Amino acid sequence: MAALSLFSLDALVNALPWAGILHYGYKITPPDLVGTMAAMIAMFQFVIGNCLHMCAYFATALNEFICTGKGIGSFVGGQLNELLGTPNLFKLTGASTVGAATLVIIVYHTIGKKWEKKVLEEKRVILKEMELRELKKAESVNESDIDQTQEAKL
């Protein structure tokens, strides 16, 4: 039963952040770099991020790894568990997570919002330019069709 409750946390720890990160990444990414953005986010979420947060979280809670950084996570998590003990490691992980979340919120509200407005404005300009190019291309195709039909009539 305990394992079921731990695995139900997967929605909060993995799935919900993944959906939010992809949504935000798509929002601020130029249209022609969406694939690159998804690959970069996947790399940070499932490779680098797992090496960092899995070392304490999964080493003590699940003792099971599903990422490429599992060797590093297992080693560091095991060493920390041996050094601090499971209850203290759990408390340390919780405190560091709260600290990191607080830092992210502060940085986002002081720096990130200004940057986000700038990036979104640049993206709007790029999208308008792309739409204008597509309209011009469609008009030139229509004009060439009209010219060809007029030449055929002559």
Task: List pLDDT tens digits, range 38-50.
Answer: 888 887 776 665 5
Q: What are the Cα distances from residue 99, in Å, to 7, 16, 93?
A: 24, 20, 10
**Of 113 and 56, more confident:** 113
Which residues does 108 contact at the CB level (< 8 Å), separation at least 6?
none
Angle, in degrees to the nearest 10, between helices 34-43 and 16-28: 140
Residue 78 lies inside a defined structural domain of this protein: yes
**Of 141 and 52, more confident:** 141
Domain that holds residue 58: 2-115
Tokens of 38: 């998804």
Residue 138 lies inside a defined structural domain of this protein: no
Residue 133 lies inside a defined structural domain of this protein: no
Four-CA torsion 7, 12, 14, 16, nearest 10 degrees: 140
